[in-house]
């Protein structure tokens, strides 16, 4: 037993002022009650929730009529609200909810709100939602009071729509209608765009003629700019590379100079230190030399005196020898001469030799005096002899002192020699560093002169760039020489002069005219693109409409045979014979679509693409006629049927449709009112049979219909003028 529709909740809707809940457990739910109690308001509420927009189809003049208007005992309400609750456990609706709730709310200011599971949606979204589930406010899902023959009363096209809705083709019809609406708007917009293109084209041609000379100027300016970029850019790049390399070398020279200055400072400090240690040793050496000089002077005096004494001794010796052997005096003189000679040699040599000579001389004198003159020298005075010996002794002491001083002098002179060597080395080191500094300063000056020359050259190029109206910064962004390419500088310079002359002869550009031309061109290109897009949209929409029409037609045609088979069966059952069938009424119309001439302008004007006139033949949506033949009556027209017969034909058509495509539920409002007892029984039996597949909510006064109901709701009108519900569940 089908059970999609779970319950209906009403609050402030028409006569249901207080909150009212009707549960639909499945099968057949019958709603009964006296006339005017508000039974049909339940049907109106369901129709309203399924998306009905027209108040007149809800038995009202305006939306405000749907809100409880109040009575003498109960005030009116400010809004009407109703909600339908569906069981979606089997995924009937394409949403991820096990229960689907549709709620609608209307206020007295005419504003409607629609909610799907408490999320507000638009009405068209609600209609699309139900269309996908083969539900809707129009058609045969809800048959209102007095409309049991609505299928017969409707025009052929209306009948087709009812069949399409119950077959589930309403979704495609909505898409098709939306596509047709968009197609119509696109065609209107396309006509407008084409008209705008035709309007601006003459003006655009005029602007192009006026600006054509300046288009050449743009090419020349671009060529000039490219040449200037290469000409000035390559030079600035080369100079920049040279200056960068030169700055690097100068930086290295500065670092070298800094190192040399430190070396010079260290050499000067070393020289000063060596020089500061020189004066003290020199003074000692001078003192020794002075002492040696004094000792030598004293020695010279003693030697002179020694010589005089020697002479006196010689004279005395020669006198004393006048009576003795002559050779004794000669030996004395020879000894003295020999001794003198040795002392002179010792005085000249100095040092250890002098000491040894003096020591040997003293020993020889002692030996000579003691051996040769002891007895024979009685003629020499003791004073002279004593004086001679004293001088001789003093000469020995002097020689020792002189030797000692000579040793010290030698040591000091050796120290002075080391000082002079170290001092000379320090001075040489200082001079070497000074030479290196001078050499580096010369190179640095040369580098600075070269840098100044390059900067002057760079300044000249920058000046030329400014004269050309360019910014030199634009030429210093490229970091690779290959970006400028290889060019002949002379040829490039000549070409630049020529281009500047050509540009000067053209005159200045009228910026306002160029701006207008650019804006018009952009507008034209935009319109061309819009036209192309719209043409594509029109083509696509026509294709979509064609596909949807084909799908609807194919599914409709394939289902119509089954419907006719069931229709004829139920017609025979209701009338006890006869025949009935639904037939398609085809109407063909010719629809001419004339293509517009469009001008496509590319590199040059005048190129046109013309779309040829096309005449397409489209089959207008066909309607449905009812062809029937009653038993025992010669009636071939629907207008000749009585009220009861019309109801029977409508009911037969209804059950034929739901037997082919059972809807989830149907709402029938007193469609059995015109039936006699026999046909009422037949109707109730058919309800019971079809309730296995579809859920029925039936408003009825018919006893036979009440008997087959599973749940019975009674509607009464209370004292305060509002509708109330009494429920009764019937046992099988």
Chain segment 583-633, per-residue pLDDT in tens: 888 755 444 444 444 444 433 333 333 333 333 334 456 788 888 888 877
Distance in angstroms (rounded) separating the CA atoms of residues 395 and 399:
6
- CA 667 – CA 655 distance, rounded (Å): 13
What pLDDT is stored for residue 598 in this prediction?
40
Q: Which of 392, 383, 376, 300 is nearest to 339 (CA)?
A: 392
* H-run or E-run covering 516: helix 511-575
How far apart are alpha carbons 487 and 50 in whole angstroms? 81
pLDDT (tens digit per residue) in 158-202:
888 888 877 878 778 888 888 999 999 999 999 999 999 898 888
Q: How many CA atoms lie within 13 A of 212 on its CB side?
A: 9
User: What is the reported pLDDT for 350?
Assistant: 61
Q: Judge whether 86 and 92 are in contact, CB under 8 Å.
A: yes
| Rg of the chain taking only CA atoms, in angstroms | 70
CB-based contacts of 169: which residues, under 8 Å, 6+ apart? 552, 555, 556
Task: Write down the pLDDT at residue 594.
Answer: 41
Residue (of 516, 452, 532) closest to 207 by Cα position: 516
Cβ-contact 563, 641 below 8 angstroms:
no
Those residues of the chain that have pLDDT short of 70 are: 1-2, 137-139, 146, 148, 213-215, 271, 274-286, 317-330, 348-354, 367-380, 409-420, 422-423, 472, 475-486, 505-510, 587-621, 636, 729-732
Measured CA to CA, the distance from residue 216 to residue 222 in angstroms comes to 10
Distance in angstroms (rounded) separating the CA atoms of residues 615 and 446: 92
Q: If we measure between CA atoms, which residue out of 718, 701, 729 comes closest to residue 40?
A: 701
The stretches of 370-381 forming alpha helices (DSSP H) are none
DSSP string, 168-215: T-HHHHHHHHHHHHHHHHHHHHHHHHHHHHHHHHHHHHHHHHHHHHHH
Distance, CA of 1 to chain centre = 60
Q: Cα–Cα distance between 400 and 406 in angstroms, integer?
A: 10
């Amino acid at each position: 037993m089908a059970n999609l529709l779970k319950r209906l909740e009403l609050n402030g809707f028409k006569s249901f002022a207080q909150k009212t809940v009707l549960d639909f457990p499945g099968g057949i739910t019958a709603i009964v009650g006296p006339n005017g109690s508000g039974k049909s308001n339940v049907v109106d509420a369901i129709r309203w929730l399924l998306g009905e927009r027209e108040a007149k189809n809800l038995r009202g003049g305006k939306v405000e009529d749907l809100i409880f208007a109040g009575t003498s005992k109960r005030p009116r309400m400010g809004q009407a609200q109703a909600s339908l609750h569906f069981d979606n456990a089997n995924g009937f609706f394409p949403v991820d909810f096990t229960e689907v709730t549709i709620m609608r709310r209307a206020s007295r200011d005419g504003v409607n709100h629609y909610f799907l599971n408490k999320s507000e949606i638009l009405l068209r979204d609600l209609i699309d939602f139900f269309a996908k589930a083969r539900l809707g406010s129009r058609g045969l899902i809800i048959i209102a009071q007095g409309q049991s023959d609505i299928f017969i009363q409707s025009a052929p096209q209306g009948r087709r729509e009812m069949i399409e809705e119950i077959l589930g083709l309403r979704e495609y019809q909505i898409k098709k209608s939306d596509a047709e609406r968009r197609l119509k708007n696109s065609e209107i917009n396309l006509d407008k765009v084409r008209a705008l293109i035709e309007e601006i084209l003459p003006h655009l041609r005029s602007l192009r003629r006026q600006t054509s000379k300046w288009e050449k100027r743009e090419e020349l300016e671009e060529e000039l700019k490219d040449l200037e970029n290469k000409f000035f850019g390559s030079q600035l790049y080369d100079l920049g590379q040279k200056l960068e390399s030169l700055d690097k070398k100068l930086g290295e020279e500065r670092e070298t100079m800094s190192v040399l200055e430190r070396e010079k400072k260290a050499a000067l400090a070393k020289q000063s230190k060596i020089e500061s240690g020189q004066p003290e040793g020199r003074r000692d050496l001078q003192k020794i030399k002075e002492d040696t000089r004094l000792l030598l002077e004293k020695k010279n005096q003693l030697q002179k005196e020694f010589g005089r004494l020697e002479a006196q001794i010689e004279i005395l010796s020669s006198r004393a020898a006048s009576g003795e052997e002559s050779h004794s005096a000669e030996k004395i003189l020879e000894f003295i001469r020999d001794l003198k000679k040795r002392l002179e040699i010792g005085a000249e040599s100095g040092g250890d030799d002098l000491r040894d000579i003096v020591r040997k001389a003293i020993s020889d004198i002692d030996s000579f005096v003691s051996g040769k003159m002891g007895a024979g020298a009685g003629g020499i005075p003791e004073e002279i002899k004593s004086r001679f010996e004293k001088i001789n002794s003093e000469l020995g002491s002097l020689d020792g002192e002189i030797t000692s001083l000579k040793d010290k002098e030698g040591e000091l002179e050796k120290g002075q020699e080391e000082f002079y060597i170290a001092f000379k080395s320090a001075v040489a080191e200082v001079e070497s560093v000074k030479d290196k500094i001078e050499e580096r300063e010369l190179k640095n000056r040369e580098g600075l002169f070269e840098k100044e020359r390059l900067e002057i050259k760079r300044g000249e190029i920058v000046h030329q760039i400014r004269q050309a109206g360019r910014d030199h910064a634009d030429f210093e962004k490229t970091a690779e020489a290959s970006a400028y390419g290889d060019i002949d500088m002379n040829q490039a310079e000549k070409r630049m002069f020529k281009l500047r002359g050509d540009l000067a002869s053209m005159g200045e550009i009228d910026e306002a005219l160029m701006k207008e031309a650019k804006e018009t061109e952009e507008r034209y290109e935009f319109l061309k693109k819009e036209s192309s897009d719209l043409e594509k949209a029109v083509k696509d929409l026509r294709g979509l409409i064609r596909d949807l029409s084909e799908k609807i037609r194919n599914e409709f045609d394939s289902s119509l045979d089954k419907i006719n088979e069931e229709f004829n069966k139920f017609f025979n059952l209701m009338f006890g014979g006869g025949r009935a069938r639904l037939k398609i009424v085809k109407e063909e119309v010719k629809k001419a679509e004339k293509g517009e001439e469009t001008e496509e302008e590319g590199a040059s004007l005048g190129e046109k693409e013309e779309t040829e006139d096309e005449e397409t033949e489209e089959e207008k949506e066909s309607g449905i006629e009812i062809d029937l033949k009653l038993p025992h009556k010669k009636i071939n027209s629907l207008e000749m049927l009585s009220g009861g017969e019309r109801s029977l034909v409508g009911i037969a058509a209804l059950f034929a449709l739901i037997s082919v495509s059972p809807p989830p539920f149907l709402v029938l409002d007193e469609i059995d009112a015109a039936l006699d007892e026999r046909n009422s029984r037949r109707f109730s039996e058919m309800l019971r049979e079809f309730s296995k597949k579809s859920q029925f909510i039936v408003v009825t006064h018919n006893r036979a219909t009440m008997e087959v109901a599973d749940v019975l709701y009674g509607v009464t009108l209370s004292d305060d003028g509002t509708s109330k519900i009494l429920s009764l569940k019937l046992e099988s």
